[in-house]
Amino acid sequence: MMKKYALDKLVICNNCHTVHQKIPLHQGGKALCSRCDAVIYRQDDTIIEKTLAITLTAFISLLIAFQSTILTININGLEQSLTLTSLFVVILENEQYLIAVMLVFLIVIFPLMILLSLLTILTLMKLKKSGYLVKRLLILLAYILPWSMVDIFFISILVAMVKLFDYAKIELGIAFGAFILTLILDIFITKNISFYELWNQHDTIYGETHVKEK
């Protein structure tokens, strides 16, 4: 990894990209950017437990979102329930295989992989076990994190809903609420713990990894 040794003492503000020297903080303390006052890192000994609880809730609510009805559309008495599965069936019936594959990866596989690897990382960190696996999972997480498009999927449902409002009666389903909950929890997770903090926790728990000299 890049962030090693001498660089360990430096930290960059995510907001304005100013480079700072790190200082040790007391429990519950926050390190603020000297230029824009954004929180750069914090010292919270319960951060793993808190994030673990939120991630687990997000995982369950995403599973509910995948399995229940998102909306029920009623046009002149003709009722149609939309679930993720029924959406896939329609896409496959129209032979849009590429869209179906993209949808499976961006909406289902990547989001579930992200939450599952985060759950595994946090649980192993809590148990202080399998440092190597945690490291591999952190690297995997960095690769797949930009490929979760649940938020974009949800926004497109909202846009479709607005367009249908004029000539259809729309009832919101359980999955609609579950999607909102998942997205809110997702914001909490990213606000609670950053990659920087995850690597920091990794180094604190398992010890730092230094380069080899040849």
Q: Which residues bind Zn ion (CB under 5 A)?
A: 13, 15-16, 18, 33, 35-36, 38
Cα–Cα distance measured from residue 153 to residue 80, given in angstroms and rounded to the nearest whole number = 19
- Nearer to Zn ion among residue 18 and residue 57 (C-beta): 18
Cα–Cα distance measured from residue 214 to residue 202, given in angstroms and rounded to the nearest whole number = 26
Beta carbon of residue 40, minimum distance to Zn ion (angstroms, whole number): 7
Cα–Cα distance measured from residue 65 to residue 69, given in angstroms and rounded to the nearest whole number = 8
Beta carbon of residue 4, minimum distance to Zn ion (angstroms, whole number): 23
Q: Which residues contact 28 (CB under 8 A, 6 or more apart)?
A: 42, 43, 44
- Nearer to Zn ion among residue 33 and residue 175 (C-beta): 33
Tokens of 35: 């230029």
Beta carbon of residue 74, minimum distance to Zn ion (angstroms, whole number): 50
Cα–Cα distance measured from residue 53 to residue 119, given in angstroms and rounded to the nearest whole number = 9
Beta carbon of residue 33, minimum distance to Zn ion (angstroms, whole number): 3
Beta carbon of residue 24, minimum distance to Zn ion (angstroms, whole number): 20
Given CA atoms 111, 117, 121, 123 in this order, what sign does their dihedral have? positive
- Nearer to Zn ion among residue 20 and residue 135 (C-beta): 20
- Nearer to Zn ion among residue 35 and residue 163 (C-beta): 35
Backbone angles phi, psi at 168, to 5 degrees: -140, 150
> Is residue 189 within a helix (H) or strand (E), and if so which, with residue range?
helix 174-192
Provide the residue count of the chain: 214
- Nearer to Zn ion among residue 16 and residue 53 (C-beta): 16
